[in-house]
């Protein structure tokens, strides 16, 4: 059976060059990077190099990069660590209502500890308005966290404008850039970002590793107590091979960014045109002018997104409804809901997310299978409607 992977927003394939760079650290160079002997030093050299690679990708200093177990930990740490370290200054936090669950769930928990959280609305394209942010801003606002690129609809927020507003205040600005790194040029100084979350497996690196950038001087309490790893701010024996892979993945990601963006834009434009031509009664969700091309979220009238997902899966095509974290649970997309989509458009949404490995032939195959699936499901749903009418 043909296999087509269109779920690159959930995770990406491991790049072969990245694997090659990791292999020695999974075999010969097995020392604990915190050990003082040569085995440890060899491992630490790999970690140091990766820290430089990550730092230079975002315009930071190496000493401002802290490795974590992924984007989720980076987000948990940023929100909770900054909230705790600044509690004396205030207890108010502002986030958008379309953040990743690792931000929103942490905020919910902080509310139970006496913090007050404002969840900014978004417009019907998924954009946060700077005016809304200013409206919610208070003298005791200690932290603002807005994601750069949303993982369900691909909308790119006005991060620099937000950073610009916050730069002369005492409020710390955190940005979840996990989904942005694969397509956006990120410069923490240019965008006035104080803390930034990244993850390796969204940029063709290994899973289970990420990083939090924390600008020098930004108060943040540590979450994971233990050894003195990560400049004494995050305990735990270092994931050397994973970090080495993450560093390499980031270096390649930056090097190939323009080419990747161009190729994925061509693919996704081709896909959208073809779907619009082949399938009537659809809506493309998100902000078409201000989004990454790699994510295309479509609502198909009269059908259930999950049914489409299953029919595509039967023919080897991998897509997603909402985010990977939300599927499998009955909870429907909080992002599409926040954009004000009605229940039927939320239920019928499917996310297609493209990567550098995808081809035009795969798109042709996908649209062919998709058109068949939607036609079939609409026929069934029309039958169901008729049956209901007859019963009445």
Ligand X SMILES: *Cc1c(COP(=O)(O)O)cnc(C)c1O
Binding site for ligand X (CB under 6 A): 70-72, 75, 100, 102, 147, 151, 176, 178-179, 199, 201-202, 210
Spatial contact of 17 and 252, defined as CB atoms under 8 Å apart: yes
What is the CB neighbour count within 10 angstroms for residue 273? 11
Question: Cα dist. 324→146, 147, 182, 327, 339 in Å?
Answer: 20, 17, 17, 5, 19
Residue 175 annotated among the catalytic residues of the structure: no
Q: Report the alpha-carbon distance of residue 305 to residue 94 in Å, rounded.
A: 32
Q: State the nearest-atom distance from the C-beta of 180 to ligand X, in Å.
A: 8
| Helix H or strand E segment including 211 | strand 210-214
Among 197, 99, 175, smallest CA distance to 117 is for 99
CB of 219 to ligand X, least distance (A): 23
Q: What is the DSSP letter of 183?
A: T
For the bound state, the minimum distance from the C-beta of residue 213 to ligand X, rounded and expressed in Å, comes to: 14
Question: How far, in Å, CA of 174 to CA of 50, rounded?
Answer: 22
Least distance from C-beta 196 to ligand X, angstroms?
11
Q: Which of 107, 175, 184, 325 is catalytic?
A: 325
108 versus 273: smaller Cβ distance to ligand X:
108
Closest approach of Cβ 274 to ligand X, in Å?
A: 26
Gyration radius (Cα) of the chain, Å: 22
Name the token pair of 34. 């915190």
Shortest Cβ 208–ligand X spacing (Å) = 8
Of 13, 18, 40, whose CA–CA distance to 29 is shortest? Answer: 40
Using CB positions, name the residue nearest to ligand X: 71
- DSSP string spanning 242-298? HHHHHHHHHHHHHHTHHHHHHHHHHHHHHHHHHHHHH--SEEEES-TTSB-TTEEEE
Instruction: List, edge to edge, every strand of the sheet that includes 141-145.
Output: 65-68, 210-214, 195-199, 172-176, 141-145, 92-96, 116-120
Q: Which is nearer to ligand X, 71 or 163 (CB)?
A: 71
> Do you know the residue count of the chain?
392
Catalytic residue ranges: 325
């Amino acid at each position: 059976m043909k296999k087509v992977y269109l779920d690159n927003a959930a995770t990406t394939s491991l790049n072969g060059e990245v694997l090659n760079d990791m292999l020695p650290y999974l075999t010969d160079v097995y020392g604990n990077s915190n050990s003082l002997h040569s085995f440890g030093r060899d491992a630490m050299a790999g970690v140091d190099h990766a820290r430089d690679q990550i730092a230079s990708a975002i315009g930071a200093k190496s000493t401002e990069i802290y490795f974590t177990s992924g984007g989720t930990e980076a987000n948990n740490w940023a929100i909770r660590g900054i909230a705790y370290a600044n509690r004396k200054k205030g207890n108010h936090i502002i986030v958008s209502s379309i953040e990743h669950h690792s931000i929103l769930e942490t905020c919910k928990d902080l509310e139970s500890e006496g913090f007050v959280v404002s969840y900014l609305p978004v417009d019907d394209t998924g954009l946060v308005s700077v005016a809304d942010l200013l409206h919610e801003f208070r003298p005791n606002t200690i932290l603002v966290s807005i994601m750069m690129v949303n993982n369900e609809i691909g909308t790119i927020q006005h991060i620099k404008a937000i950073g610009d507003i916050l730069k002369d205040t005492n409020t710390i600005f955190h940005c979840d850039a996990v989904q942005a790194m694969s397509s956006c040029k990120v410069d923490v100084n240019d965008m006035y970002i104080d803390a930034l979350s990244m993850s390796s497996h969204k940029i063709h690196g290994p899973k289970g590793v990420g990083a939090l950038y924390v600008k020098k001087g930004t108060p943040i309490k540590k979450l994971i107590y233990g050894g003195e790893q990560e400049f004494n701010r995050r305990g735990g024996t270092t994931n050397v091979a994973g970090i080495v892979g993450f560093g390499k993945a980031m270096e390649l990601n930056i090097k190939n960014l323009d080419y990747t963006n161009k190729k994925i834009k061509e693919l996704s434009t081709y896909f959208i045109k073809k779907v619009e031509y082949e399938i009537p009664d659809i809506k493309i969700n998100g902000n078409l002018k201000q989004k990454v091309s790699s994510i295309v979220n479509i609502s198909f009238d009269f059908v259930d997104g999950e049914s489409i997902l299953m029919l595509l899966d039967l023919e080897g095509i991998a897509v997603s409804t909402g985010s990977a974290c939300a599927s499998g649970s009955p909870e429907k997309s909080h992002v599409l809901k926040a954009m004000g989509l009605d229940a039927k458009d939320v239920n019928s949404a499917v996310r297609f997310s493209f990567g550098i490995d995808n081809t035009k032939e795969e798109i042709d195959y996908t649209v062919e299978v998709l058109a068949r699936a939607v036609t079939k499901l609409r026929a069934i749903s029309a039958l169901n409607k008729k049956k209901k009418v007859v019963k009445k």
